[in-house]
Amino acid sequence: MPKVEFYGWKIVALMIGPRSAGNGVYILGNTLFVIPLEESLGLGRSVSSLMFALGGVIGGISAPVSGILMDRWGPRRVLIISVLIGCIGYFLLGLAPNILILFLIFLGPISLVMLNVAFNASSGIINNWFDRYKSTAFSLMQGGSGLGSLIIITVLAYSIDSWGWRTASGIAGLLVLAIGLPTAYASRNTPEELGLQPDGTNKSVSGSQELPIRKAKGYLVVLEGMDSMQAMKTIRFWMLAISSTIFGGAIATLGIHFVPIMVWKGLTEVQGAMMLTFLALGSAFTVIFVGTLADRYGRLLIASIACIFLGIAIFILRLGGTGISLWIAVAVLSASSCLYPLTWSIVGELFGRKSYSTIRGYMMAVQSVGTLVMPLIAGFYYDSTEDYSLTLMVLTILWMMAAVLLFVTPRKSTS
């Protein structure tokens, strides 16, 4: 069992802050702005889908650069800078006078850094602090951020309904700053900076005390594992990258179109936002449960099984009405939040700490193809047909394909 007094668990608690801010405002919160932007600026569903999908692509393409900076100077510093830039970006977004400026702000200061706030930097820090209990740590962080996201989504939905999307955008910026900055500042990059070891053990991950150590401007990290070029030459990297591209596209499509899909099903926008908060609440519990199972029974196996259940949930969502079947589908879909923490813990398991953030960044760059194409196609298809049936069927197939790829990915690790 992990040591309860291990300082790494405090790091997990701290990382819930920026994770909640990024997840609630940027990942889940985007869908709340789709219909208000249509009504205010005349954006079609396809145009808003394009903007949000391109945001994911920008974040993915810039991830290798962010990863290199994190591996060189430490994820904590990159996280602090990203929180500050993201806050400014949301303030500017609320002032955008037209569609062009809206696109430039969202694709610039917001999309370039918000994935660092939501995922990248905190993942790099947690990967450095844990080895055997990596998935549990990732999942606790994601579960806690699910609860935090629930509060943020509620605040944003109320703000949009009461004062409009522009005021809500400014409030989003304040939330990113107030929640993300203090927790990021209080964190530490690695256990070695405090004279500790991953998981609170008395020896390093590989069992050796003689591993080389890099220190740059206060960032201390033990260099076990592969470098990025070695990792990209393995079949494991590409199978994991392709599977995450497939389910990443499915998750991005569901995230951007969730409230519009609920409206298409017959709910109001407010009811759709309520379902989104239910999704966030469910994710806080399912992700912890799934992460604990992953550390015990295998991260790739549990990720594969999760994809199967998610595909079934989408199929139920497509066929069911607005009754109990809808609630069941959304409850199961809350498990979609477990796939990213599982994926990034798998990356740490397979490739180590040496170049974790860079490897993760390259994988996100590949993944950005899915996050662009699927939401965009869904938006264009809806504009043409005012229907989401085919989109939901495609999402079902994508999750099943991801399940197969994850199941057959080689399990060999670096340790």
Helix or strand holding residue 126 (H, E): helix 121-129
For residue 178, being part of any structural domain is answered with: yes
Task: Please state, in angstroms and as integers, the Cα–Cα distance from residue 137 to each residue in 13, 238, 361, 390, following that order.
Answer: 10, 25, 20, 37
Q: How far is it, in rounded angstroms, from Cα 220 to Cα 201? A: 17
Span 403-409, average pLDDT:
94
Per-residue pLDDT, 259: 86
pLDDT tens digits for range 229-259: 999 999 999 999 999 999 888 988 888 888 8
Bridge partners, 222 (sequence order): 213
DSSP 320: -
Q: How far is it, in rounded angstroms, from Cα 378 to Cα 49? A: 8
341, pLDDT greater than 80: yes
Least confident of 23-37, 72-86, 106-120: 23-37
Q: How far is it, in rounded angstroms, from Cα 345 to Cα 303? A: 11
Per-residue pLDDT, 156: 92
Total domains present in the chain:
1
**Nearest alpha-carbon partner for 247 in 317, 304, 290, 320:** 304
pTM: 0.77
83, pLDDT greater than 90: yes
For residue 282, being part of any structural domain is answered with: yes
For residue 211, being part of any structural domain is answered with: no
pLDDT tens digits for range 269-278: 888 888 887 8
Please report, for the domain that includes residue 357, its CATH number: 1.20.1250.20
Unique residue bearing structure tokens 């690790």: 413
204, pLDDT greater than 60: no
Q: Which domain holds residue 117?
A: 8-194+218-408
For residue 205, being part of any structural domain is answered with: no
Least confident of 87-96, 190-199, 212-221, 235-244: 212-221
For residue 82, being part of any structural domain is answered with: yes
Per-residue pLDDT, 142: 81
415, pLDDT greater than 50: no
For residue 213, being part of any structural domain is answered with: no
For residue 85, being part of any structural domain is answered with: yes
Q: Judging by beta carbons within 10 Å of its beta carbon (0-12, 13-18, 19+), is residue 98 exposed, middle or buried?
A: exposed
Share of the chain above pLDDT 90, in %: 36
